[in-house]
Structure 1
Amino acid sequence: MASPFIELNVGGRVIKVTNPDKVYFPDIGATKRELVEYYVSVGEGALRALKDRPTYLKRHPDGVQSEAIYQKRIPPRHPDWLETVTIRFPSGRTADALRVTEVAAIAYCANLGTIDFHPWPTRADDVEHPDELRIDLDPQPGTDFDDARETAFAVLEVLDELGMRGFPKTSGTRGIHINVRIERRWSFTEVRQSAIGLAREVERRRPDLTTTAWWKEERGEKVFIDYNQNARDRTIASAYSVRARPYAPVSTPVTWQELADVNPRDFDIRTVPPRFAELGDVHKEIDDRAFSIEPLLEWYAKDERGDMPYPPNYPKMPGEPKRVQPSKARPSGADDEAG
């Protein structure tokens, strides 16, 4: 008979793992126990990516084939040592989100069926000023990881010219994320504007490969640089997050040298722990220096196109262009003609 639970010692805390033999990832037969033990094995790196950040949980309590529960608020019943932080949504409403302060918190949430961890780009002591610029490279239909890789090196060229250091990781699916530590001097709006400035510069240099078009019908077979991942309340899977796929891929930090020929399918819940044991966290220097985004804001300010659309669930933002799909937009003056 399968054990109803096991107990793990994680940093001096006892974490109960219920239904440890339940298969969570059917393609490789990986269990819930393996998920929790995975996060403990890469705990130093996972904690570096999540430490003191408001964090959302993407839970699949019955494995990846079950419907996801995207949880922004911390579960009402939780250990008293689990910490929280109050955040404000674009609507103005507030909520208490998980604040990750130790590896045991990650293991506890993994036992709740959390597969992906989605942190804010801010720290708990100042949730209004991001310390991370997130560059999300999203291959569109007709493109693949190789196209995202080529785009990443175009981004690297721009960052190098600005004297900024980016840290790349696989998204765990087809894309690439590049994180840049930034000084905590700017609002979400300004950081998003800096992301637009960077994305437009990469698009200017590589119009054959990249696009900043928000509307899918305008993107074509290119890599979309998703500037909106820097808007308030938008998150991406953290470094070392497992992704909810049957083969248990992992969003894995890599060096720029590795990125040149890496295959994202090589990184999963079983291959990343031995890699981590050998190499440690290859992004361990990410907090060593924070950069100014002033050059990116200058690029944004000089561009006559101004702002770009926000996601559809956001209230209308100051300076935002008309938020309507181009193919559905009325021609200018249509209302007058109809009258």
Structure 2
Amino acid sequence: MATPAVQLDVEGIEVRLSSPDKVYFPELGISKLDLANYAMGVGEGFLAGLKMRPTTLERWPGGVRQGMKLTTRAGGKGDAFYQKRAPEKRPEWVDVAEVKFPSGRPATAITPSNLATIIWAMNLGTLRFHPWPVSAPEVDLVDQLRIDLDPQPGTDFRDAVAAALELRTVMMEFGLEPYPKTSGGRGVHVFCMIEPVPFVDARHAVIAIGRELARRMPAKVSVDWWKEERGERIFVDFNQMARDRLMASPYSVRPVPQARVSAPLTWDELPDAHPDDFTVLTMADRYRERGDVWAPLYASTPQSLDAVLERYGHDIESGLTDMPYPPEYPKMPGEPPRVQPSKQRRPHSDYSSPTDQRE
């Protein structure tokens, strides 16, 4: 027999939570109500990472169990799915904004402006929230630079940490103020606030930063789009800065048995951190003790990308090119051919891809 729904008072807004006892993480016994209480416990920080940003919901309505799969473009079937468009039936206090996908198609996306919207989305089975790096109403201008350090086979979280520490130096030399967080998996994310720029400029900035990091750590870091070229190195995923890409927000819950969360950290904490330290069961206590350690990020003065974009221009002048876009993108100006290096009929000077090779 289903457990009756409950009404939660979320900062003065009544939110209905259906089946509150439904278990989402069987190994830990974490229920939907537990997830809602977790989100309210870290509420100010959770909302800060999403506030007024168009957000894709990653919904796991059946919970997280062995064998469950996330629907992908390639597979087409799964137990969980991404919801990029705002549900047509939604409370009046769920704010939205109009965005455009890479194809040019418009869509209405949720832009959370209150904690109640997060709890409402969790009632739909949302675990991970994927906010765009823009803020409504200026949804075509990036105001948050994000760098995804993605471990490749043969590397792990410790390798990502080493790359992040050197990345901090690189970014500071460009006049940027970065902040790290765990991805909830093996990777590290590094964010900073920037003066608003178009998506193309923000992506070029990450390419330039990634190339400089790879120059300093050539045996440890790669900006190669194709897996066959990356080797056992940390991949700087520059395409995470393209329009409509997915990167988990701070405090989002990763759909793994441990119920790990994407944890904001200080640079002093990062060297000794481990992803398993930060879960739905542990983060609330940490938050009560420390608060949101990323509050200084949101309060920081947005920095200019001029110096980074100047470096990108110098790289182009020296013979480098732009990098391949994700496969759903139309051909972009300056983009090299989307041909896998091992299948090219003749050598090419940069990296390209007909399909998304990320795992």
| TM-score in terms of structure 2 length | 0.90
1:47-89 per-residue CA deviation (whole Å, 9 max, x = no partner) reads 1100010001000111023422100001111112211100001
Would you say the 8 A contact 2:103–2:328 is kept in 1? no
Q: Could you tell me which amino acid in structure 2 is paired with residue 26 of structure 1?
A: P
Change (3 A) 1:332 1:116: closer
Would you say the 8 A contact 1:135–1:226 is kept in 2? yes
Question: C-alpha displacement at 1:162, in angstroms?
Answer: 2.4
1:98-109 paired onto structure 2 within 5 Å: 98-109=110-121
Gaps of 5+ in 2: 69-78, 349-359
Would you say the 8 A contact 1:300–1:306 is kept in 2? no
Q: Is 1:318 the counterpart of 2:328 in the alignment?
A: no
Task: Tell me the distance in 1 between the aligned counterparts of 2:6 and 2:347.
Answer: 65
Task: Tell me the distance in 2 between the aligned counterparts of 1:219 and 1:282.
Answer: 33
Q: 2:310 aligns with which of 291, 298, 309?
A: 298
Q: Could you tell me which amino acid in structure 1 is paired with residue 215 of structure 2?
A: R
SS of residue in 2 equivalent to 1:129: strand
Q: 2:263 aligns with which of 252, 274, 277?
A: 252
Q: 1:183 aligns with which of 185, 195, 201?
A: 195
1:145-196 per-residue CA deviation (whole Å, 9 max, x = no partner) reads 0000000001011122223210100000000000010001x21001100000
Percentage of matched positions with identical amino acids: 50
**1:55 alignment counterpart:** 55
Task: Tell me the distance in 2 between the aligned counterparts of 1:26 and 1:255.
Answer: 31
Task: Tell me the distance in 2 between the aligned counterparts of 1:278 and 1:7.
Answer: 28
Task: Tell me the distance in 2 between the aligned counterparts of 1:91 and 1:161.
Answer: 36
1:138-149 paired onto structure 2 within 5 Å: 138-149=150-161
Task: Tell me the distance in 1 between the aligned counterparts of 2:280 and 2:227.
Answer: 32
Q: Is 1:265 the counterpart of 2:276 in the alignment?
A: yes
Question: C-alpha displacement at 1:314, in angstroms?
Answer: 0.9
Q: Is 1:235 the counterpart of 2:219 in the alignment?
A: no
Would you say the 8 A contact 1:248–1:268 is kept in 2? yes
Task: Tell me the distance in 1 between the aligned counterparts of 2:274 and 2:94.
Answer: 36
Task: Tell me the distance in 1 between the aligned counterparts of 2:175 and 2:98.
Answer: 34
Would you say the 8 A contact 1:87–1:94 is kept in 2? yes
Q: Is 1:203 the counterpart of 2:214 in the alignment?
A: yes
Q: Could you tell me which amino acid in structure 2 is paired with residue 73 of structure 1?
A: R
Task: Tell me the distance in 2 between the aligned counterparts of 1:29 and 1:81.
Answer: 31
Task: Tell me the distance in 1 between the aligned counterparts of 2:49 and 2:43.
Answer: 10
Q: 2:80 aligns with which of 68, 75, 78?
A: 68
Q: Is 1:277 the counterpart of 2:288 in the alignment?
A: yes
SS of residue in 2 equivalent to 1:95: strand
Aligned length: 332
**2:9 alignment counterpart:** 9
Q: 2:343 aligns with which of 319, 324, 328?
A: 328
Question: C-alpha displacement at 1:33, in angstroms?
Answer: 1.1
Task: Tell me the distance in 2 between the aligned counterparts of 1:332 and 1:131.
Answer: 37
Q: Could you tell me which amino acid in structure 1 is paired with residue 127 of structure 2?
A: I
**1:26 alignment counterpart:** 26
1:88-237 paired onto structure 2 within 5 Å: 88-184=100-196, 186-237=197-248
| TM-score in terms of structure 1 length | 0.96
Task: Tell me the distance in 2 between the aligned counterparts of 1:150 and 1:26.
Answer: 34
SS of residue in 2 equivalent to 1:160: helix
Question: C-alpha displacement at 1:27, in angstroms?
Answer: 2.5
Q: Could you tell me which amino acid in structure 2 is paired with residue 273 of structure 1?
A: A
Task: Tell me the distance in 1 between the aligned counterparts of 2:88 and 2:123.
Answer: 16
1:208-265 per-residue CA deviation (whole Å, 9 max, x = no partner) reads 1100000011100000000110001113000110111121100000000000111110
Gaps of 5+ in 1: 334-339
Q: Is 1:43 the counterpart of 2:58 in the alignment?
A: no
**1:337 alignment counterpart:** none
Q: Could you tell me which amino acid in structure 1 is paired with residue 7 of structure 2?
A: E
Q: Could you tell me which amino acid in structure 1 is paired with residue 129 of structure 2?
A: F
SS of residue in 2 equivalent to 1:50: coil
Question: C-alpha displacement at 1:16, in angstroms?
Answer: 1.3
Question: C-alpha displacement at 1:332, in angstroms?
Answer: 6.3
User: Greater shift after overlay, 28-37 or 50-59?
Assistant: 28-37
SS of residue in 2 equivalent to 1:168: strand
Question: C-alpha displacement at 1:329, in angstroms?
Answer: 2.1
Q: Could you tell me which amino acid in structure 2 is paired with residue 159 of structure 1?
A: M
User: Greater shift after overlay, 158-167 or 316-325?
Assistant: 158-167
Task: Tell me the distance in 1 between the aligned counterparts of 2:191 and 2:287.
Answer: 19
SS of residue in 2 equivalent to 1:130: strand
Task: Tell me the distance in 1 between the aligned counterparts of 2:328 and 2:228.
Answer: 19
Question: C-alpha displacement at 1:17, in angstroms?
Answer: 1.1
